[in-house]
Amino acid sequence: MRAATPLLVSAALLGAARVGAEPPPKIATRLAYTITPGIAGCPSEAALTDMIGSYFGYQPIEPEAGAILTVTIRAKGKQPVADLSLRDAEGTARWEESTEEGTDCDDLVENVALLIRLRLGPLAWGSKPPPAWLAAEPPPARPPPAPPPSLLASPPSAPAEDKPIRPSDPLAAAPPKEDDAPPWLPRPELSVTFVVAPWATPRLALGGGAGIGARWPFALVGFEFRGLAGLFAAENAYASTQPYLWMGVGSACFTPRPFMLCALGAFGRYSGTIEPTAGDVSRLERQSTLRSWIGLRVGADWKLHDRFSLRFLIDGMLATNVETWSVGHPTQGKTFLWQTPDFFASLGVAGVVRF
C-alpha cells in the first residue's frame, strides 16, 4: 500500500507528540472482517484486532459498541486490496475508503490497521473529542475514599452492632493508569544467509552469515555477522596465501514490499596463513588489520508463508582503507603478494523468519 508511507511517518510523529500529554479520549467500535475466497496468507480477525490495539495503545474494538467498522479483503487483478467503511448505530455511513493494491496480504492488513489508527485516532479529531456515536463510554467514576478516623474524635454514639469505620485502601482508590505503550512497535526477524562474493578475496569467496532485524511496514534496520573464505590463493614466486574475511554489517533499509533498498556500514578483518613455496619467507606487514566499508544493497523478498520468506540480496561494498600483503625473501627482499580490494560485490540468498 504505497499511500501508507506518509501515514507511517505521521503515526511516528503522533506517537512522539503524545509523550507527556494528557491521554486522548477513547473510541469504541465493532469489527466485521471478511476475506473473499481465493486470497491466501491473510492474518486472522484476532490478529487484525491485536494490530489495531497495538497502534491505538488500547483496544478500541468492543463487541457491544454501537458503531461498526467493516474491513473486506478482495482481489484486484492478482493483488489484494482492502475496502473499509464505518457506520454508526443507525447504519449511517460515516467513512469509506479503499486501499491501493498490495503484493502481500500480511503487510496489507498491517497497513490497514495503521490507516484505521490515523483515520479514527486522535489525529482525526485534533483538539476536539471524537463524535458521540464513536466515543467509548467512560469508565464509572470511583467513589471518593472514606477519610480515616480521627485519633482525637470521641467514640461514636452508634449502636454496638454497627461496624467501625475503616480507612480505605490507598491502592484501591488509585486511579487506573493509562496504557502508555507506544502506538506501534517493530516486528523482529532472524535470518541465515548464503553468500557468494567475487573479488572479496583473490578471485572468489564463499561464506554465510546470521542476522537479526527490526521491521516496520516500510522500513528495516538490522545487523548481520558474515564469514567469507577464499577459494583461490594469492601467490608470487616465493609464497602463497588464501585469505578469509570476518565482518559485521549494519543496514538501514527502505522496504516497499517486496523490494528493499539499504545503506550499509561494515567493519571486519582479513586473515590468512603465508605458505612458503621457495625458500624461507616472512610476512612483513601485520595481519588481521581492522578494515571498514560503506555500501549499498538492493534486494527482494519472496514470501513462502506468513512468517517465512526467501530474501535475494545484491551488495556493493566500498573500502575506506586497504592493506597490502608482502613477504620478505632472504635474497630478493620485499615482494608483493596481495592487496585487499577497494571494492567488491556479493550475492546472497537468506532464509528469513518473522515474529
pLDDT by residue, tens only, the chain of 355 residues: 444 444 444 444 444 444 445 567 899 999 999 999 888 888 999 999 999 988 888 999 999 999 999 999 998 888 899 999 999 999 999 999 998 776 678 888 888 998 998 889 888 887 788 999 998 876 565 666 666 655 445 555 555 454 444 444 433 434 444 344 454 678 899 999 999 999 999 989 999 999 999 988 789 999 999 999 999 999 888 888 889 999 999 999 999 878 999 999 999 999 888 888 877 776 655 455 788 999 999 999 998 877 889 999 999 999 998 888 888 877 777 888 889 999 999 999 999 998 8
- Spacing of C-alpha 91 from chain mean position: 38
Q: Which cell goes with 108?
A: 496489507
Identify the CATH number of the domain in which residue 293 sits. Answer: 2.40.160.20
pTM of the model: 0.58
Of 107, 125, 143, the residue at which a domain comes to its end is 125
Question: Residues 210, 345: one domain?
Answer: yes
> Letter for the amino acid at 150?
S
Q: Does a structural domain hold residue 171?
A: no
CA–CA separation, 102 and 104 (whole Å): 6
Q: Are residues 119 and 228 in the same domain?
A: no
Name the nearest CA neighbour of 223 among 189, 258, 199, 178: 189
92 and 191 fall within a common domain:
no
If asked whether residues 15 and 97 sit together in one domain, one would say: yes
Q: Both 63 and 192 in a single domain?
A: no
Do 47 and 194 share a domain, yes or no?
A: no
Contact 191, 351 (CB under 8 A): yes
Which pLDDT belongs to residue 151? 47
Does any domain span residue 151? no
pLDDT value at position 256? 84
Of 72, 107, 125, the one marking the end of a domain is 125
Contact 109, 84 (CB under 8 A): no
Domain that holds residue 326: 187-354
Based on the fold, state whether residues 197 and 303 are members of the same structural domain. Answer: yes
Q: For the chain, what is the domain count?
A: 2
The answer to whether residues 104 and 191 belong to one domain is no
Rounded to the nearest 10 degrees, the angle between the axes of helix 4-17 and helix 105-120 is 50
Residue 137 lies in a domain: no
Q: How far is CA 12 from CA 27, 117, 139, 175, 184, in A?
A: 20, 11, 28, 28, 8
DSSP class of 232: S
For the chain, the first-to-last Cα distance in angstroms comes to 21
Query: Is 65 domain-assigned?
Result: yes
* SS3 of the chain: helix, strand, coil, percent, to 5: 15, 45, 40
Residues 197 and 283 both lie in one domain:
yes
The rounded distance, in Å, linking the Cα atoms of 197 and 51 is 40
In a domain, 165, yes or no: no
228 and 121 within one domain: no
Residues 260 and 336 in one domain: yes
Q: Tell whether 109 and 217 lie within a shared domain.
A: no
Q: List the CATH number of the domain containing 91.
A: 3.30.160.100
Whether residue 178 is contained in a domain is answered as: no
259 assigned to some structural domain: yes
Last residue of a domain, one of 75, 96, 125: 125
Answer whether residue 239 is part of any domain: yes
Look at residue 15 and give its three-state secondary structure: helix
What phi and psi, each to the nearest 5 degrees, are found at residue 172?
Answer: -70, -30
